[in-house]
Amino acid sequence: MSSKRLIIALDFKNFDEMSKFVARLDPNSCVLKVGLQLFISEGNKVLDFLSSKGFDIFLDLKLHDIPNTVGKAIEEIAQFNVLMTTIHLQGGMEMIAAANQAKGRIKILGVTLLTSLDEGDTQMLYSNNFDNQFNNLINVAEKSEVDGIVCSSKELNLLSSSNLIKVVPGIRNQDLSDDQKRVMSSKEAYKNGANYIVVGRPITQSKNIDEAIREYS
């Protein structure tokens, strides 16, 4: 596993915007996250470009489908130089087994409950409260031997004994008054067991990118 612990989310519209930003980064200081927007707009060439510049890549497509489809999709992802990729734990044991079988050297991270869901959603969807449903998904993660999970900073304290790699978005060192609600500072998140934190706008929109990277590393 790499020693870098800061993942920068490349939430850009297109290749031009992304590559201008990436030109200012050092591959030794961060991992880069490619999400749905950039992957749908520009496709595989983003992965080849970042890899040619020496960056470790986190491909965050949050796959959730029947086992055969997810296995085949992971097989394709495994052709690229990607460090980590995501699937939904809610896809179940068989789907996760198919992903594990196809992953090659790639680390598979299971998404627990999206931070956009709350108690009302878990009651409606699963007739279960949020914490119980979260714990059910952690059981799935542990039994299925995924490499790690994506969870909010709020759930880190429920995971202190787990050996799963913990990847944590929703990090803010200053109040940006944006759409992130359940936030934590980078220092607290690392202290509470995050192996990686995911940071987007506080770095991509910073006036001093180098200083912001130092602050969140």
Q: Considering only CA atoms, which of 50, 130, 40 is closest in space to residue 82?
A: 50
- Three-state SS at 4: coil
Run of H or E including 44: none
Among 137, 159, 198, 213, binds ligand C5P (CB under 6 A): 198
Helix, strand, coil: what percent of the chain each, to 5? 45, 20, 40
Q: Would you count residue 85 as binding ligand C5P (CB under 6 A)?
A: no
Q: Which of 85, 115, 133, 153 binds ligand C5P (CB under 6 A)?
A: 115
Q: State which of positions 137-166 bind ligand C5P (CB under 6 A).
A: 150, 152
- Which of 1, 66, 93, 114 is in the footprint of ligand C5P by CB under 6 A? 114
The size of the chain, in residues, is 217
Q: Residue type at 199?
A: V
Tokens read off for 78: 């495994």
Nearer to ligand C5P, 71 or 112 (CB): 112
Catalytic residue among 13, 45, 60, 166: 60
* Interface with ligand C5P, residue 184, by CB under 6 A: no
CA distance 88 to 114: 9
**Interface pick for ligand C5P out of 71, 110, 148, 169 (rule CB under 6 A):** 169
154 is catalytic: no
Binding site, annotated residues? 11, 33, 115, 172, 180, 200-201
Q: Give catalytic residue positions.
A: 60, 62, 65
